[in-house]
Amino acid sequence: MSWLRSAFQDELDGVTQSLSELSTLVSSAITQATHALLTADLSEAEAVIAADDRVDEIQHELDARIIDIIARQQPVASDLRALVTALRMSADLERMGDLAHHIAKVTRLRHPGAAVPSELLLTIEEMGKVARLISDKVGGIINSKDIDKALEVEKDDDEMDLLHRKLFTVLLNPSWPHGIETAIDMTLIGRYYERYADHAVSVSRRIHFQVTGKYSSKS
């Protein structure tokens, strides 16, 4: 019966590969969306918006495949945990793609103008860098199942939270000169980056659970 176990392991490996592909796509999306936002690059924003369809397609195919594996193989213990966890991770990754998509749509909405005022360019650039760092790390953890690295992601998210608070400090300053519309744009953009990082943390926690059977908790 070893060949059956080998075939099942191949299916599990295929699930991991698809999760890794999703992670790569959403990492690229947040990088491109950030660059488009900072440079008011409409063509790059449109590319991010169009590419989100591929993220959705992979997620839907992956979820259907996982459900089929569970129905056919009736896995138990750690195998069932891995598959159920993968279902949840695919949803988190798909949502990360949506958030990059939302950022790109702000760029498109405000084109040919710039969505980000000059005094916030550095903060948004840093938020984009942290988002890419976290998502790249998550992509590595999906493949390695390194729970120490998974715990690091929660610490990395603290940097995003600090940047988010810094953004709001500027927006709430009584001398804010850019009006309500720009303030709303920046509030939404900040929220998109913050939620992107939160979903990456969720993926890292699910990997921790997959390996250990216990969820990590942020201190």
The residue type at 98: D
- Per-residue pLDDT of 48-77, as tens digits, reads 999 999 999 999 999 999 999 999 888 888
pLDDT at position 73: 87
The angle that helices 179-212 and 121-144 make with each other, rounded to 10 degrees, is 20
How many CA atoms lie within 13 Å of 207's alpha carbon, on the beta-carbon side?
Answer: 30
pLDDT at position 160: 97
Instruction: Annotate 126-141 with b (16+ C-beta within 10 A) or e (fewer).
Output: bbbebbbbbbbbbbeb
- Domains (range + CATH), the chain: 10-212 (1.20.58.220)
DSSP string, 29-92: HHHHHHHHHHHT-HHHHHHHHHHHHHHHHHHHHHHHHHHHHHHHH---HHHHHHHHHHHHHHHH
- Confirm if 185 and 107 have CB atoms less than 8 A apart: no
pLDDT at position 5: 63
